[in-house]
Chains A and B, each alone.
Chain A
């Protein structure tokens, strides 16, 4: 038997993904990819600055991590953070050609950083502290993987500095902004198909 009704009959708590979960998660990832692209165009001054002293790029890296944290906060299903982050990475590869296949690996690692935090709270808590922690998790995951994969030849103090910057950026940009976005979205009513749009704790 095909599970034509199974999809419909699932409780949001069971962790199974509905069609609307999949499509909205996908589109969030795509939208964040597009946003980061237009943000970069708007802040070309900053990229000159980070080129002068590369660890500063860590401060900007939180923008890459929004997809995972925001996707996790809205969809509230296991795997949402990783799925959104990997797809956003694929979109960034599509738009900005300077990243190769490696960006998918980075996306998976960054998404896992946020996912781990959501998992630690058993996919039950979605408040501000959890969002900030998820941002931190994603930021640290990003810094560690970048330091190993790409910045391996930097001396230790610069790697450390990059890690601090990326963690900070993860907390503020990916954590705080995503949480504010989630709360604002819930108030507009567009999340009415999701627990995130119905619960009062937002």
Chain B
């Protein structure tokens, strides 16, 4: 539970230079294409493309595996859950007590697992190649989101690591007062809620002071200039284009293969 992975080291030279908005656009169209249908073909196409683009992240296989293993576990669990709960069609593969798996339900599970993985990876691409300050600049300057909210969110995101540290400090401080991790489940839950309350009190105190500090530096007015310019280059056309191509390709492939399965149908 260290704060290290909350501020990841940015990698991937090329994508680092791209504007966060173009990366976000590519991720969003791919995500929408995936969300629209649950089928193994569109998921497999997107996943294949994402894996092919992995070298752009400039991170070793081991490093990547260390970062994304929770994602693999989550995909497996999703696949299992659907295989267990989907309509039981086709031949029976396994039938032990309440656990009944059929060909149809397992195929559905595989599709959900692939889709889950394909959905998660664009987030990894953005996380590993985007500086939060650049993202805020781009959201405010290019997408024209309200700058007070964008900068407020940016300033508070910086507190993630500090709050994790504070949580650990609170745990020690409460232990010193006689509340430990020992005790029944009820006592532990009460302690957890008490410690959470303590964290929120500290977070709001911090936030109120931070707001004062920001206002004391003139923050909150209608107009402001930007010390850093967020720009679009040819690279951004490429990033957005690749995103569109992947999304369209996946959808087309699924329709042609006859597996397209619109979620609202």
Which residues on A are within 8 Å of B, measured CB to CB? 2-4, 6-7, 17-20, 22-35, 37-39, 41-42, 51, 53-55, 70, 83, 87, 90-91, 93-103, 105, 148-155, 158, 177, 181, 184-185, 188, 190-191, 193
Contact = CB atoms under 8 A, between A and B. Distances in A.
Contacts of B74: 98
Interface string B22-53: 00100110010001001000000000000000
A202 B157 CA distance: 29
B206 to A, nearest CB: 7
Nearest to B158: A30
B160 interface: yes
A33 B199 CA distance: 12
Task: List 4 A-B pairs, minimum CB-CB distance, nearest first.
Answer: A26-B156, A27-B207, A54-B81, A98-B74
Given A31-B159, A31-B199, A97-B68, 7 more contacts: A51-B81, A97-B70, A101-B24, A149-B263, A151-B82, A151-B85, A154-B81
Given A30-B159, A97-B70, A158 B127 contact: no
Question: Which of B38, B108, B157 has the most CB atoms of chain A within a 10 A radius of its CB?
Answer: B157
Contacts of A19: 148, 152, 211, 214-215, 219-220
A158 to B, nearest CB: 5
A11 B119 CA distance: 43
Main secondary structure of the interface of B (DSSP, over half): helix
Contacts of B210: 23, 27
B207 A100 contact: no
A32 B126 CA distance: 23
Contact of B199 (A35, A90, A151, A184): A35
A30 B152 contact: no
B78 interface: yes
Interface string B64-92: 00011011011101101110111100000
A31 B159 CA distance: 9
Given A99-B123, A154-B82, A28 B70 contact: no
11 contacts: A20-B208, A26-B152, A26-B207, A94-B160, A100-B122, A153-B82, A153-B86, A154-B81, A155-B86, A185-B197, A185-B201
Nearest to A34: B163
Contacts of A158: 85
A148 B85 CA distance: 15
A151 B215 CA distance: 45
Contact of B77 (A18, A32, A51, A97): A51
A102 B24 CA distance: 12
B123 A41 contact: no
Contacts of B87: 153, 155
B171 to A, nearest CB: 9
Nearest to A20: B211
Nearest to B26: A101
A93 B85 contact: no
A28 B207 contact: yes
